[in-house]
Amino acid sequence: MASEPVSTVFFLSDFGTQDEFAGVVHAVIAARAPGTTVIDLTHHIPPFDVRAGSHTLVRAVPHLGSGVVLGVVDPGVGTARRGICMEVAVRAGGTLFFVGPDNGLLVAAAEAAGEAPITRVVELARDPAPDRGATFDGRDLFAPVVAALCSGTATLLQLGEPIDPASLARLPGGVVEQGRLHDGRTCLRAEVTWVDHFGNLQLAATVADARVAGMPAVGSIELAARIESGREYLDGLPHSLVPDGVQLRCVDAFGALERGEFGIIADANGHLAVVAAEASAAHWLNVVAGELLVLAW
Amino acid sequence: MASEPVSTVFFLSDFGTQDEFAGVVHAVIAARAPGTTVIDLTHHIPPFDVRAGSHTLVRAVPHLGSGVVLGVVDPGVGTARRGICMEVAVRAGGTLFFVGPDNGLLVAAAEAAGEAPITRVVELARDPAPDRGATFDGRDLFAPVVAALCSGTATLLQLGEPIDPASLARLPGGVVEQGRLHDGRTCLRAEVTWVDHFGNLQLAATVADARVAGMPAVGSIELAARIESGREYLDGLPHSLVPDGVQLRCVDAFGALERGEFGIIADANGHLAVVAAEASAAHWLNVVAGELLVLAW
Amino acid sequence: MASEPVSTVFFLSDFGTQDEFAGVVHAVIAARAPGTTVIDLTHHIPPFDVRAGSHTLVRAVPHLGSGVVLGVVDPGVGTARRGICMEVAVRAGGTLFFVGPDNGLLVAAAEAAGEAPITRVVELARDPAPDRGATFDGRDLFAPVVAALCSGTATLLQLGEPIDPASLARLPGGVVEQGRLHDGRTCLRAEVTWVDHFGNLQLAATVADARVAGMPAVGSIELAARIESGREYLDGLPHSLVPDGVQLRCVDAFGALERGEFGIIADANGHLAVVAAEASAAHWLNVVAGELLVLAW
């Protein structure tokens, strides 16, 4: 079965944009598969931060049509870690291919996009390059594969040998735990999975998680504590870095908050987010991705 | 009357590029209107700075062909502020649509582009999204509208109800005032509307304003004072933050200046700009956008 | 002879992306040559750094297909410096045009791309613009030329008068010198031509230079000294800014290094690079582009 050519590529990396890395990948695809539309999701994933890249892809995939997701956050480039391509039938119809390293970057997004468990995965075959290092698989391995899919010159199974989906590298999910504080209040401990450009703090907890935990949808929630990544904490007596708590008003729009006020909102991905009025909640609460927030009511 | 499909989108926002925001908007347009060219004007408008976004669009529109301008600097997203689409017949021929929030971001650019006052504006109809917040109109409201215009599946009037152009939100223009200093010299007080990547200071005053005020086109002009945004000042005795003044040599090219010298130039948009030789005038004069500069001769 | 239309533009500048500069250049090309694919190599060349721009283009050209390279790092804009277009038959087949200022930015890349010395160069003819400055040749001169090449409305010789390739402005090459330290060890002094987004230090020395100098390909090399740009040094007794030297382990992959270890690697361009394990060698060794590193064995 010949693959139908696909015409759109969704490209994410930690390449930054100060160098020519991302542009050269575009050029390789344009030369081999003219007419392909390559959309940059972002190239500003923090260097080597595979988990941040994975979260970003999970957020993006519900909004992509058919095409190829090219993800390159790849500290293991040049080592024995595999390059992979997955083919996924998308819930909304159509097909998404995922091309990149087998380090956990792609698999959560492929599962989020697909209507069924992943079954079609290959390990990409590779040719060694003469007289230059094997440090740029984005250009030398993945871009040619993407171009082959886009130009229809290769099917999935022509790209390499099938591998067992159970063997794919995976990352731990974000922490979401319901609990009870020593004062008897119910609490939700949730990891900050993303600090966006505006300083909004996305939590691993979804609107559905909040509903299950019985979190009120009106009034205020208390941000009772902030727990640094990797810190121990006692249940009911968390190591509090938010002195005396911070009130988060439940709102539907950033603009409903007064200057100086913090809020909690259902964000555009269906997750809870801690936000501030035309300001950076991350800055004012001194929170970074990977920390846990304890919300109490 | 069916709109003719348009093929180019000019996209400006304060989304930054560290997250997937802009990329996802591209993806929504690509999925619904394949073959559309989406050009990023910039996504680095300072967060929430509607005025900076408006200035940027005003500078850009003379150089755009037909297409859709998508502008999203939108602190009021999710509130009652309207989403709008304007259709403008462009001076140079062709049509530009402007899609975004009704907060003053788009109207000055639409007026600058058009050969006549704005007459065709609609308030965009919207569908509420289930189980996720209404915090990302760029993706959920504006991008589908842009795609409908580009694919020709909707005309302006199918996008929403017509509204009165006089009801559109507007921003104050940049300050340009001619005056006289206490020492008898003529002066021009002009707002710094833009500090660019190189640190050049664009003034609200145009080359034509300078001509009317009698500013010499050769020799040097004195930068007599800098007035911080919102500061009071006395006419003829401005609150000077530029001790003893700074000489600005009238030049036609950055390269005409010596190292360490400041200049005044007619910039690429026909405005006056205060510049330095291969250096940032903003840095060395300690000036930010929104301040007034007082030029004297 | 009519040029065949070309469909891809490779665009590099020092414009940054906070302003609309790069987007407006895209818009001018899209309006005049619809359907052209414009690929941004990078717009984050440090302001006015013609040499960094030249290095970046040299690295990129082996991976570009046919098309037009548009390079704008142009501190001399508006002065008497010429605008040029070169046409080069590419080693891999096809044609690359190079459009931009005659200040050394383009010529090394054109020579690297071509299978023969440059013979076809013209000085671009220009029309003065009324009532605005001549400060934005990227938009007003180069983009229209690029569009003319892409739409096939002009051949090289219709863009301006031929000029002598020997008259083109050139930059000095990167320093690579073999030598001997006072302790008898062989050394290679090589300029750091590029610090990339990850902090890897690319040297002017290639894998072939290392082979000629007899540098071992296994074990460790000593980074014996760092010489600041413009500093004097005595052969055999370099002004050392690396106290007691630093060991660089010869590796094939970043991932082969332990945390805290430095390495030397053949990079993706066939050059030597000094690297660190998931960290910035530039930061930890306190090295910037333009310095010399002395490698000894």
Instruction: Look over chain C and give the mean of its residue pLDDT values, rounded to a whole number.
Output: 91
Residues paired with A186 in a beta bridge: A180
Q: Helix, strand or coil for residue B254?
A: helix
Closest approach of chain A CAs to the CA of B80, in angstroms? 10
Tokens of B44: 């680095």
Chain B residues within 8 A of A255 when measuring between CB atoms: 75-79, 81
DSSP state of B234: B
pLDDT at position C256: 94
**What's the rounded Cα separation, in Å, for the pair B125 and B122?**
9
Angle (CA) A205 A208 A213, round 5°: 75
Task: Describe the strand order of the beta sheet including C37-42 as a list of residue ranges.
Answer: C37-42, C8-13, C67-72, C95-101, C83-89, C120-124, C160-162
Chains within contact range of chain A (3+ C-beta pairs < 8 Å): B, C
Chains within contact range of chain B (3+ C-beta pairs < 8 Å): A, C
ipTM over cut 0.90: yes
Q: Is the pLDDT of residue C270 over 70?
A: yes
Chain B residues within 8 A of C30 when measuring between CB atoms: 8, 37, 39, 65
B255·C19 Cβ contact <8 A: no
C134·B253 Cβ contact <8 A: yes
Pair A56, A40: CB distance under 8 Å:
no
Question: How many other C-beta atoms are found inside a 10 Å radius of the C-beta of residue A106?
Answer: 30
Chains within contact range of chain C (3+ C-beta pairs < 8 Å): A, B
Q: Is the pLDDT of residue C178 over 90?
A: yes
**What's the rounded Cα separation, in Å, for the pair A20 and C62?**
12
User: How does A255-270 read in b/e, with b if 16+ C-beta sit within 10 Å?
Assistant: bbbeeebbbbbbbbbb
Give kind and range of the element (H or E) at residue B263.
strand B262-266
For residue B266, is it left (φ>0), alpha (ψ between -120 and 50) or beta?
beta
Q: Name which of B10, B57, B61, B254 to mutate to probe chain C: the one with the most chain C Cβ atoms within 10 A of its Cβ.
A: B254
- Amino acid residing at A118: I
Chain A residues within 8 A of C209 when measuring between CB atoms: none
Closest alpha carbon to C10 in C78, C53, C71: C71
Q: Name which of A96, A198, A203, A267 to mutate to probe chain B: the one with the most chain B Cβ atoms within 10 A of its Cβ.
A: A198
pLDDT per residue as tens digits for the range C22-59 = 999 999 999 999 999 999 999 999 999 999 999 999 99
Residues of C with CB under 8 A from a CB of B: 15-21, 23-24, 26-28, 30-31, 34, 47-48, 75-79, 81, 131-136, 139-140
A78·C254 Cβ contact <8 A: yes
B78·A270 Cβ contact <8 A: no
Residues of B with CB under 8 A from a CB of C: 7-8, 10, 12, 17, 37, 39-44, 56, 59-60, 63-66, 194, 196-198, 207-208, 252-256, 265-270, 273, 278
Pair B99, B145: CB distance under 8 Å:
yes
Closest approach of chain B CAs to the CA of C104, in angstroms? 16
pLDDT per residue as tens digits for the range C208-250 = 999 999 999 999 999 988 887 655 554 444 455 555 689 999 9
**What's the rounded Cα separation, in Å, for the pair C155 and C163?**
15
Could you say which of A15, A131, A135 has the minimum Cβ distance to residue C254? A135
Angle (CA) B122 B127 B133, round 5°: 115
pLDDT at position B131: 62
Angle (CA) B230 B47 C46, round 5°: 100
Q: Is the pLDDT of residue C70 over 90?
A: yes
Rg of chain C over Cα atoms, rounded to whole angstroms, equals 21
B135·A255 Cβ contact <8 A: no
pLDDT per residue as tens digits for the range C114-173 = 988 999 999 999 876 656 678 899 999 999 999 999 999 999 999 999 999 999 999 998
pLDDT at position C177: 94
The structure's pTM equals 0.94
Could you say which of A17, A42, A65 has the minimum Cβ distance to residue B20? A42
**What's the rounded Cα separation, in Å, for the pair A262 and A256?**
10
Backbone angles phi, psi at B108, to 5 degrees: -65, -40
Q: What is the largest CA-CA distance in chain B?
A: 66
A136·C268 Cβ contact <8 A: yes
**What's the rounded Cα separation, in Å, for the pair B100 and B270?**
27
Tokens of B61: 């529109």
**What's the rounded Cα separation, in Å, for the pair C292 and A221?**
57
Residues paired with B164 in a beta bridge: none
B255·C18 Cβ contact <8 A: no
Pair B175, B188: CB distance under 8 Å:
no
pLDDT at position B230: 57
* Residue C235 CA, distance from chain mean position: 29
Rg of chain B over Cα atoms, rounded to whole angstroms, equals 21
Per-residue HEC secondary structure of A135-180 comes to CCHHHHHHHHHHHHHHHCCCCHHHCEEECCHHHCCCCCCCCEEEEE
**What's the rounded Cα separation, in Å, for the pair A261 and C228?**
50
User: How does C23-60 read in b/e, with b if 16+ C-beta sit within 10 Å?
Assistant: bbbbbbbbbbbeebbbbbbbbbbebbbbbbbbbbbbbb
Q: Compute the residue count for chain A.
A: 297
Q: Helix, strand or coil for residue B275?
A: strand
The secondary structure of chain C as a DSSP string is: -PPPP--EEEEEES--SSSSHHHHHHHHHHHHSTT-EEEEEES-SPTT-HHHHHHHHHHHGGG--SEEEEEE--TTTTSSPPEEEEEEEBTTSSEEEEEEESSSTTHHHHHHHBSS---EEEEEP--PPTTS-S--HIIIIIHHHHHHHHHTS--GGGSEEE--GGGS---PPPPEEEEE-TTS-EEEEEEEEEE-TT--EEEEEEHHHHHHHT--SSSEEEEEEEE-TT---BTTB----STT-EEEEE-SSGGGSPTT-EEEEE-TTSEEEEEETTB-HHHHHT--TT-EEEEE-
pLDDT tens, N- to C-terminus, chain B (297 residues): 344 557 899 999 999 999 999 999 999 999 999 999 999 999 999 999 999 999 999 999 999 999 999 999 999 998 889 999 999 999 878 999 999 999 999 999 999 998 889 999 999 998 766 566 788 999 999 999 999 999 999 999 999 999 999 999 999 989 999 999 888 999 999 999 999 999 999 999 999 999 999 999 999 999 988 887 655 554 444 455 555 689 999 999 999 999 999 999 999 999 999 999 989 999 999 899 999 999 999
Q: Compute the residue count for chain B.
A: 297
- A13 CB contacts (<8 Å, ≥6 apart)? A21, A22, A25, A43, A45, A53, A71, A72, A73, A138
Closest approach of chain C CAs to the CA of A41, in angstroms? 14
Question: How many other C-beta atoms are found inside a 10 Å radius of the C-beta of residue C190?
Answer: 27
Residues of C with CB under 8 A from a CB of A: 7-8, 10, 12, 17, 37, 39-44, 56, 59-60, 63-66, 194, 196-198, 207-208, 252-256, 265-270, 273, 278
**What's the rounded Cα separation, in Å, for the pair C9 and A23?**
11
Residues of B with CB under 8 A from a CB of A: 15-21, 23-24, 26-28, 30-31, 34-35, 47-48, 75-79, 81, 131-136, 139-140
Q: Name which of B7, B13, B24 to mutate to probe chain A: the one with the most chain A Cβ atoms within 10 A of its Cβ.
A: B24
Give kind and range of the element (H or E) at residue B57.
helix B50-60
Chain C residues within 8 A of A78 when measuring between CB atoms: 252-256
**What's the rounded Cα separation, in Å, for the pair C85 and C144?**
12
pLDDT less than 70: residues of chain A: 1-5, 128-132, 229-244
Could you say which of A16, A27, A79 has the minimum Cβ distance to residue C65? A27
A270·B131 Cβ contact <8 A: yes
* Residue C43 CA, distance from chain mean position: 13
pLDDT at position C1: 37
**What's the rounded Cα separation, in Å, for the pair C197 and C220?**
25
B31·A8 Cβ contact <8 A: yes
pLDDT at position A115: 83
Could you say which of C194, C196, C267 has the minimum Cβ distance to residue A133? C267
Q: Compute the residue count for chain C.
A: 297
**Residue pointed to by tokens 């005053």:** B205
- B95 CB contacts (<8 Å, ≥6 apart)? B6, B66, B87, B88, B89
Q: Name which of B14, B40, B48, B135 to mutate to probe chain A: the one with the most chain A Cβ atoms within 10 A of its Cβ.
A: B135
Chains B & C: contacts with CB separation below 8 Å: 109
Q: Helix, strand or coil for residue B40?
A: strand
Chains A & C: contacts with CB separation below 8 Å: 110
pLDDT at position A288: 92
pLDDT per residue as tens digits for the range B116-170 = 899 999 999 987 665 667 889 999 999 999 999 999 999 999 999 999 999 999 9
Between residues A1 and C106, the one the model is more confident about: C106
